[in-house]
Chain A
Amino acid sequence: MIARIWSLIVKEFIHLRRDWWLPVFMVLGGASELLIVGWATSRPMTNLPLMVFDQDQSSISREVVTALENTTTFSLKEWALDFEDIEEAMDRGSINAALIIPPDFSKEMSSTNGDPALMVILNGAESVAATEALRAVEGVGRELSEQLAIQRLSFLQGSLEAFNPSVRVWFNEALSEALYTTPAELALMLEFTVLIFAALSFARERELGTLEQLLVMPFSTMEIILGKAIPALAIAFTDFVIMLGMIHFAFGVPIRGSLVLVLVLVIGYLCVELGKGLVISVSSKTQHQAFLLVLLIGMTDFMFTGYAAPVESMPQVLQWFANFIPAYHWLRILRGILLKGVGLEVLWPHVLALVILGVVIGYFSLRFVRRALS
């Protein structure tokens, strides 16, 4: 039996030899794409363009601008000469925030009972950037207020700082987005690689009419499936190892838990995704249709990796639905082992869920393939 499976694997690789560049390209291209995407998007939000309408034109008002620039959240884009400048830039979408310093600002700041005011306008058309901008603006406002309060009430000197709580961040000391997002991006690339290779396997044979030839040969369904699955598994596993190395060395994602455990569990996860890919493959009449299904299913799964929003904050129905998504459990396992260094004692519910999903999906793919072959 092993010899027969081997001959099927060899056949798949002969298919691939004509397109030998395809797996190489998919693996290396995917990994370098991960490098670019991770590098570009997993960083603190910086350089949000800011427009300043300084009606005061004093050294004190410039200090406010400098304080905002020093947060690195903003970069000063231009000075407004009137209010219309701000309106136009906002409409154009060329700025994320505008600061308006009223004419009496420095006067109010210097007098002991003065009531200085600042006005900030945020561009709500980019809500994520606006929220970040609000955080930075409020931080600067608080700091300036505190300094002034200490100046005005000499007895407060120094004691205000003691009211700030001390903060410790565990598992990801710098609260770096990269440690959270790059595993999700890795998962997306990995899943699409598996799905594309698995989905094409049968769809291509059917479309080109070579499925019948496979049928008249003395192979059992199980052998045909394994023959199709093993090459795809080998490609995807290589892909994972390369990408894991990449996020570890390029983005500093730690591997705190057991590397062996990750490598064992990824094979399990890949088998589940392969099963899905085979179901897509045998239920598609053409490669065109298989590709559309891969895009739809892959994108749906991607949401449950928590890339754009954590699964826990999703509506209840989606949270419940997440339990049926292999990628959701896989990400829990991956982040747990890499970032927290936990093992099976904590992760077993997710491993169990993957096993159950694997059995169900495996059963269906076997049935589907059998039906398609008979």
Chain B
Amino acid sequence: MSLRHIWAVTLKELRYIQRDRATLILVIFTPTLLLFMMAYAVTADIKHVPLGVLDLDRSMTSRKFLQQITLGESIDLYGQVNTLDDLEELLLKEAIHIAVVIPPEFERQLLALRGMPLQVIVDGTEPQTGGYALDQILRRAETFATDLLSSQLVAMGVDPDVLEPIDLHVRTWYNPNRKPKVDVIPGLLSMVLGLPGMTVALTLAREHEHGTLEQLLATPIKRAELLLGKMGPYVLSGVANVLVTSLVAMLWFKVPFNGNFLLFLVLSVIFFFALLSMNMLVGVFIKTQAGAMALSFLVVFLPGLFLTGIFFPLVSMPPIVRMEAMFLPGSHYAIITRGSFITGVGLDILWPYAVAMLVFGFLFTGVAAMFFRKKLA
């Protein structure tokens, strides 16, 4: 194994990438561009959900109630209708996502403390929006009822606190308002940084298609050196991308970085090594660039997008899938980016993930080199 040989291959690959300006720009800017777009799209807070109202009571209390549930930015009154059919039409047209039906006995029942007859209709096609709006309305309806009850209790000379006897203190660490951007942006970072490296799977197939592989093998460069050298440009551009995307996350999106940046950079290099090795392993079996592209898309890219815990927590996934996720460098790296940005933990906690990625890197490259040799013989 000679570093000089690896570097020679890296230089050759660099020259290939740089020959075409557009490819160079894409390799360098894809992660930053995607981070920008996705960060805005993914971390949007749900706000201004349109509400339809069918008020059959038309009383003081029902008006007060409507005022209470449309207070603030979460729910906006879209309009009042006169029949249930009108509500249905608005829901079908997606003009509203949620509706309340206030029956004629609303005020009478409430003031008599017999209950709160109220119907909420939710559009289930968008569970996130619908669930959020439903949550808001139920919470406000409860406050409305509790206020009414406690004023009644005060009139009876009872301390209204008895309605909620248990004090629940909830505190959220690291991210007190549970703002998605604080953890989703570091998560996205781990995903977008891996994208340019996906193309490394194509580089061996390219030599096959162009018929230049034999020339390469006639040189004294060993096979493992060839594979490592081909990864070189993507490690280099990856490091540059880590710097740029982290700066964007910190300065533009104001996500605090609490860890050790140098450590983060080193761990990122290990991640690139593991991910590139995985792509290389995919590429070794395929003779055409088209095939390599399809295979690395299905085997590396898709699982890396969905099964690394960026959008959906790993703990809630079925055990078999969780095991698959352990073999994806991205799931370890997602923990590292979050740890470095949010909790600011060091190597004492992150070392198992670094070791796992290193093992994958050597394992995948080793197996790739082995099959590469067999295939050529």
Contact = CB atoms under 8 A, between A and B. Distances in A.
Is chain B found bound to chain A in the same assembly? Answer: yes
Interface string B169-185: 11111111011101110
B183 to A, nearest CB: 5
B211 to A, nearest CB: 10
Contacts of A126: 183, 313, 338
Contact of B34 (A48, A289, A296): A296
Contact of A162 (B17, B37, B115, B290): B115
B355 interface: no
Interface in A13-43: 18-19, 21-22, 25-26, 29-30, 33, 36-37, 39-41, 43
A51 to B, nearest CB: 13
Given A168-B119, A169-B124, A289-B23, A93 B168 contact: no
Interface stretch (B39-47, B215-223, B263-271, B367-375): B39-47
A291 B168 contact: no
A49 B324 CA distance: 20
Interface stretch (B2-10, B56-64, B315-323): B315-323
B108 interface: no
Interface stretch (A239-247, A266-274, A313-321, A355-363): A313-321
Interface stretch (A2-10, A140-148, A211-219, A220-228): A140-148
Interface residues of B, number: 112
A307 B81 CA distance: 32
Interface centre among B168, B290, B295, B302 (most CB of A within 10 A): B290
B175 A179 contact: no
Interface stretch (B198-206, B239-247, B357-365): B198-206
Given A40-B306, A40-B317, A127-B180, A346 B37 contact: no
B164 A285 contact: no
A165 B118 contact: yes
A116 interface: yes
Contacts of B301: 295
B79 interface: no
B20 interface: yes
Contacts of A103: none
B319 to A, nearest CB: 10
A119 B324 CA distance: 36
B114 A172 contact: no
Interface string A147-191: 011001100000101111111111111111101100001000100
B183 A124 contact: yes
A48 B46 contact: no
Contacts of A340: 92, 125
A312 interface: yes
Interface centre among B93, B109, B114 (most CB of A within 10 A): B93
Contact of A115 (B44, B165, B303): B165
A310 B129 CA distance: 7
Contact of B37 (A117, A172, A300, A335): A300
A115 to B, nearest CB: 7
Interface string A103-139: 0000001000011111111111111111100110110
A292 B30 contact: yes
A304 B41 contact: yes
B308 to A, nearest CB: 11
Given A127-B178, A149-B164, A296-B33, A165 B291 contact: no
B124 A172 contact: yes
A91 B349 contact: yes
A233 interface: no
A276 interface: no
B343 A288 contact: no
A131 B20 contact: no
A374 B190 CA distance: 43
Given A295-B195, A296-B33, A339-B125, A118 B168 contact: yes
Contact of A134 (B30, B165, B178): B178
B127 A127 contact: no
Contacts of B203: 288
A342 B93 CA distance: 9
Contact of A117 (B128, B169, B171, B318): B169
By size class, the interface of chain A is 35 or more
A120 B169 contact: yes
B162 interface: yes
A101 B338 CA distance: 29
Contacts of B316: 43-48
A168 B121 contact: yes
Contacts of A118: 166-169
A287 interface: yes
Contact of A127 (B100, B116, B183, B209): B183
Contacts of A162: 109, 114-116
B71 interface: no
A231 interface: no
B120 interface: yes
B158 interface: yes
A19 B288 contact: yes
B78 interface: no
B122 A169 contact: yes
A327 B26 CA distance: 22
A315 B44 contact: yes
A21 B30 CA distance: 30
A117 B166 contact: yes
B294 A22 contact: yes
A228 to B, nearest CB: 13
10 contacts: A22-B288, A25-B295, A25-B298, A44-B316, A124-B176, A125-B343, A137-B170, A149-B162, A310-B126, A346-B93
Interface of B: 17, 20, 22-23, 26-27, 30, 33-34, 37-38, 40-48, 91-93, 100, 109, 113-116, 118-131, 134-135, 137-138, 141-142, 145, 149, 158, 162-176, 178-180, 182-184, 195-196, 198-199, 202-203, 206, 209-210, 288-291, 293-295, 297-298, 301-303, 306-307, 311-313, 315-318, 321, 324, 335, 338-339, 342-343, 345, 349
Which 5 residue pairs across A and B have the least CB separation, nearest first? A162-B115, A172-B124, A124-B175, A165-B118, A141-B168
